[in-house]
């Protein structure tokens, strides 16, 4: 990734389309997005107002694509887009935004602010103003195949543990399987129980599935940092593997942005509609439930709640499925205030967790989640994103709260009828 | 130029010029948006762009209860002055006569004392909005000269209109001329500033809702 200001400006220009034009034309600087953003409410600095984070893109749009902006530029009135300016914006665009999209839901004129911040990142990265932590994750994704540097032998070691524990075979590279499972590095390293849960559930339901040894990584740091070429390359690896194995459906695991990356951005990044379907694991499990293929026994009696991962619920549209599934195995399920599409982000999505520089801030803004949890005092929190899960655990520890985190898929697997 | 001549110029040629700039400007700005184009989404849809888009055009006029609590001043003051503008511009009998002259059709007006009350409330609210903008740290930070300019150009016609109706300070023709002039100023500046949101918010809301709707999220 050789970066330059020129590349940055060109990348921003490439991001301008009619949505950007309509959005910027409509902003009246009302500031309501600030009230919707946990990075502002928990650490109030006016510069963290979501719409302000899009300023690099706004300047380019205004100066290059509007009549008044072009006249202003000719008269020498245009505000500069230079390294000094972009550098100032780097922490706003990367450290102070998890792309959670809550701002996009409250904007009275309807601006999809999170989308515009995502677009702004394309210019920031191309100009060389992306955080070290994310650059490292991207480099590892391209060279090793995983943002955390997880190599195939590490996955195979975890798989052999799972096989020993369950007595079930994890089908690798099985051609013609119905489902191809993707995993996040976080799951491979920290939560191999997820693989175990999938093996048990899919065995009980009786479907054929596989993991590709060539494309098992679901996450896409190219999207988080905002480099479309790299994001496309990472998606292409999955497309190639899915086509090679002739699978019907690719499963996005318990990871928020991976779902956004492969389900919604993927085909647009590679410039081709997929020949297979992409579904989130929660969608697959809910289909099993609907078809009566999930036999569940026993109910959790403790008070449980569900943390909606932003990219799965608000940005991804998978909101009812987790609740349908949770109802199968809980009898005391309680929603947090503002749950569902308006849920508050844990604070670590959108690449924030890969960016060590943002560690302090992400724990500070966790206060928002704490407040939400304090309203209902649950005995456990279920989620469906291992990034949320790790950060929630971090945050709870930081705030001395002792609430266990549960994976939806894993908890469901524990309740399978024998 | 006598007062009457001035009034005639303001009502005649000046009004025509302002109207042409307004209409041409709005068309240019809207074309400017659509000509940017938008790539076709290649991901398989899970819902409808159209129903999401239409839903959001309507639903964004109503805040959710939590936002209402968090941004109460912005939302309530916003409702009041927009409603005030709607009533004073479109439901004042003399204005409707003018629209009838231009469009060939009119609509029922509201009693003058009611419109008058709306004008007063709108002026007070807009002043409160300005004070809020100057005092709130986020708004102060975000605001550019343009924000203050459009505030001024918005309140001016209501103040001059109020003065013209109550004949405050000057002769009736002079007051009316100033009022019309202030409206013309607003019309000329409108397309090239954030005032355009009155039109473009429909497009913006549609896109926002369409993006969500496509993914099966109701926004």
The answer to whether B171 faces chain A, any CB pair under 8 Å, is no
Strands (E), B2-63: none
| Short-list A246, A263, A104, CA closest to A180 | A246
Cβ atoms of A256 and A289 within 8 Å: the answer is no
Contacts of A49 in chain B (CB under 8 A): 138, 141-142
DSSP classification of residue B43: S
Q: What pLDDT is attached to residue B219?
A: 67
Q: What pLDDT is attached to residue B37?
A: 97
| Short-list A339, A331, A324, CA closest to A294 | A324
Contact A46 B60 (CB under 8 A): no
pLDDT under 50 in chain B at which residues?
none
Domain boundary residue among A230, A260, A290?
A290
Predicted confidence band of residue A3 (pLDDT cuts 50, 70, 90) = confident
Which stretches of A66-112 are DSSP H helices?
A: 67-74, 83-90, 102-106
Residue B149 covered by a domain: yes
pLDDT tens-digit map of A144-184: 999 999 999 999 999 999 999 999 999 999 999 999 999 99
Residues with Cβ < 8 Å from B76, sequence gap 6 or more?
none
Q: What pLDDT is attached to residue B218?
A: 73
ipTM attached to this prediction: 0.96
The answer to whether B52 faces chain A, any CB pair under 8 Å, is no
Q: What pLDDT is attached to residue A2?
A: 77
CATH number for the domain spanning A112: value is 1.10.1060
Residue B181 covered by a domain: yes
Contact B141 A52 (CB under 8 A): yes
Residue A146 covered by a domain: yes
Task: Kindly state whether residues A263 and A372 are assigned to the same domain.
Answer: no
Cβ atoms of A311 and A259 within 8 Å: the answer is yes
Residue A75 covered by a domain: yes
Q: What pLDDT is attached to residue A29?
A: 96
Task: Kindly state whether residues A97 and A42 are assigned to the same domain.
Answer: yes
Q: What pLDDT is attached to residue A358?
A: 96
Produce one character per residue of B150-174: b if its CB has 16 or more CB atoms within 10 Å, e if not: bbebbbbbbbbbbbbbeeeeeeebe
Contacts of B201 in chain A (CB under 8 A): 26, 108-110
Backbone angles phi, psi at A415, to 5 degrees: -100, 15
Contact A109 B204 (CB under 8 A): yes
Domain boundary residue among A246, A266, A290?
A290
Domain count, chain B: 1
Contact A26 B204 (CB under 8 A): yes
Beta partners for residue A252, in sequence order: A280
CATH number for the domain spanning A214: value is 1.20.1050
Give the domain extent around A349. Answer: 304-414
The answer to whether B66 faces chain A, any CB pair under 8 Å, is yes
Task: Kindly state whether residues A324 and A258 are assigned to the same domain.
Answer: no
Give the domain extent around B113. Answer: 3-30+46-214
Residue B36 covered by a domain: no
Contact A26 B200 (CB under 8 A): yes
- CA A254, chain centre distance (Å): 10
pLDDT tens-digit map of B65-109: 888 999 999 999 999 999 999 999 999 999 999 999 999 999 999
Q: What percent of chain B has pLDDT over 90?
A: 94
Domain count, chain A: 3
Closest-CA residue of A relative to B37 is A18
Closest-CA residue of B relative to A263 is B43
The answer to whether B196 faces chain A, any CB pair under 8 Å, is yes
Beta partners for residue A250, in sequence order: A180, A278
Residue A236 covered by a domain: yes
Q: Among partner residues A49, A266, A317, which is closest to B217 by beta-carbon distance?
A: A317
Instruction: Look at residue A81 and tell me whether its pLDDT is greater than 90.
Output: yes
Contact B215 A315 (CB under 8 A): yes
Distances from the Cα of A287 to the Cα of A1, A281, A294, A384, angstroms: 42, 10, 9, 16
Give residues 75 to 94 of B whose Cβ lies within 8 Å of A. Answer: 75, 78
Q: Among partner residues B39, B141, B209, which is closest to A17 by beta-carbon distance?
A: B39
Q: Among partner residues B38, B67, B203, which is closest to A106 by beta-carbon distance?
A: B67
Contact B43 A21 (CB under 8 A): no
- Best mutation target among B26, B68, B138, B139 (most A Cβ atoms within 10 Å) is B138
Strand, coil or helix: what is A354?
A: helix
Strand, coil or helix: what is A416?
A: strand
B182 CA: distance to closest CA in chain A (Å): 21
Task: Kindly state whether residues A100 and A147 are assigned to the same domain.
Answer: no
Contacts of B36 in chain A (CB under 8 A): 16-18, 20-21, 65
Contacts of A278 in chain B (CB under 8 A): 44
Residue A296 covered by a domain: no
Residue B35 covered by a domain: no
A318 CA: distance to closest CA in chain B (Å): 8
Residue A295 covered by a domain: no
Contacts of A115 in chain B (CB under 8 A): 211
Closest-CA residue of B relative to A339 is B66
Task: Kindly state whether residues A71 and A37 are assigned to the same domain.
Answer: yes
Task: Kindly state whether residues A105 and A27 are assigned to the same domain.
Answer: yes
Q: What pLDDT is attached to residue A280?
A: 97
CATH number for the domain spanning B126: value is 1.20.950
Task: Kindly state whether residues A104 and A58 are assigned to the same domain.
Answer: yes
Residue B62 covered by a domain: yes
CATH number for the domain spanning A308: value is 3.40.50
Strand, coil or helix: what is A243?
A: helix
Contact A67 B78 (CB under 8 A): no
Instruction: Look at residue A1 and tell me whether its pLDDT is greater than 80.
Output: no
pLDDT tens-digit map of A203-245: 999 999 999 999 999 999 999 999 999 999 999 999 999 999 9
Contacts of B138 in chain A (CB under 8 A): 31, 34, 40, 46, 49
- The two tokens of residue A295 are 């036999």
Closest-CA residue of B relative to A340 is B217
Q: Among partner residues A51, A265, A314, which is closest to B217 by beta-carbon distance?
A: A314
Q: What pLDDT is attached to residue B1?
A: 79
Q: Among partner residues B57, B75, B215, which is closest to A316 by beta-carbon distance?
A: B215
């Amino acid at each position: 990734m050789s970066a330059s200001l020129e590349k940055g400006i060109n990348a921003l220009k490439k991001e301008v389309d009619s949505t950007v034009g309509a959005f910027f034309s409509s902003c009246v600087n009302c500031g309501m997005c600030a009230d919707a953003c946990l990075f502002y409410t928990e650490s109030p600095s006016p510069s963290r107002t979501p719409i302000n984070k899009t300023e690099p893109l706004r300047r380019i749009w205004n100066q290059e694509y509007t009549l008044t902006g072009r006249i202003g530029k000719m008269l020498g009135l245009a505000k500069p887009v230079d390294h000094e300016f972009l550098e100032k914006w780097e922490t706003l665009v990367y450290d102070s935004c998890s792309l959670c999209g809550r701002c996009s839901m409250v904007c009275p004129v309807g601006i999809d602010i999170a989308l515009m911040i995502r677009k702004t990142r394309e210019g920031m990265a191309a100009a060389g103003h992306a955080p070290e932590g994310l650059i490292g994750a991207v480099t590892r994704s391209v060279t090793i195949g995983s943002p955390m540097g997880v190599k195939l032998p590490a996955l195979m070691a975890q798989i052999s543990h799972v096989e020993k524990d369950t007595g079930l075979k994890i089908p690798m590279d099985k051609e013609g399987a119905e489902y191809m499972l993707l995993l996040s590095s976080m799951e491979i390293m920290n939560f191999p129980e997820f693989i175990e849960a999938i093996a048990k559930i899919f065995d009980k339901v009786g479907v054929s599935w596989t993991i590709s040894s060539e494309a098992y990584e679901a996450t896409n740091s190219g999207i988080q940092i905002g480099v479309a070429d790299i994001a496309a390359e990472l998606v292409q690896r999955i497309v190639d593997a899915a086509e090679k194995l002739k699978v019907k459906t690719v499963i996005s695991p318990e990871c928020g942005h991976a779902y956004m990356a492969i389900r919604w951005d993927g085909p647009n990044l590679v410039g081709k509609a997929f020949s297979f379907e992409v579904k989130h694991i929660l969608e697959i499990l809910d289909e099993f439930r609907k078809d009566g293929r999930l036999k569940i026994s026993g109910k959790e009696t403790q008070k449980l709640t569900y943390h909606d991962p932003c990219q799965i619920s608000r940005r991804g549209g998978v909101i009812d499925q987790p609740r349908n599934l949770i109802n199968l195995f809980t009898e005391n399920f309680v929603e947090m205030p503002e749950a569902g599409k308006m849920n508050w982000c844990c604070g670590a999505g959108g690449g924030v967790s890969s960016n060590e520089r943002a560690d302090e801030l992400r724990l500070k803004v966790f206060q928002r989640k704490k407040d939400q949890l304090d309203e209902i005092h649950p005995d456990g929190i279920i989620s469906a994103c291992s990034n949320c899960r790790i950060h929630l655990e971090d945050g709870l520890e930081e705030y001395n709260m002792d609430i266990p985190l549960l994976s939806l898929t894993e908890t469901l697997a524990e309740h399978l009828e024998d | 130029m006598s007062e009457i001549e001035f009034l005639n110029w303001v009502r005649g040629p000046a009004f025509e010029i302002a109207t042409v700039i307004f209409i041409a400007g709005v068309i240019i700005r809207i074309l400017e948006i659509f000509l940017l184009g938008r790539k076709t989404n290649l991901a398989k849809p899970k819902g409808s762009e159209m129903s999401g888009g239409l839903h959001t055009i309507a639903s964004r006029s109503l805040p959710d209860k939590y936002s209402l609590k968090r941004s109460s001043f912005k939302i309530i003051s916003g409702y009041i002055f927009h409603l005030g503008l709607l009533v004073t511009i479109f439901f004042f009998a003399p204005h409707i006569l003018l629209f009838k002259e231009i469009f060939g059709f009119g609509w029922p007006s509201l009693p003058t004392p009611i419109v008058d009350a709306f004008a007063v409330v709108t002026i007070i609210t807009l002043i409160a909005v300005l004070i809020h903008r100057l005092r709130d740290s986020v708004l102060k930070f975000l605001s550019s000269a343009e924000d203050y300019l459009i505030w001024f150009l918005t309140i001016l016609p209501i103040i001059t209109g109020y003065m013209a109706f109550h004949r405050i300070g000057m002769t009736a023709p002079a007051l009316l001329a100033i009022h019309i002039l202030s409206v013309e100023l607003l019309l000329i500046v409108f397309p090239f500033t954030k005032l355009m949101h009155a039109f473009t918010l429909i497009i913006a809301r549609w896109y926002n809702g369409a993006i969500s709707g496509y993914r099966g999220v109701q926004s």
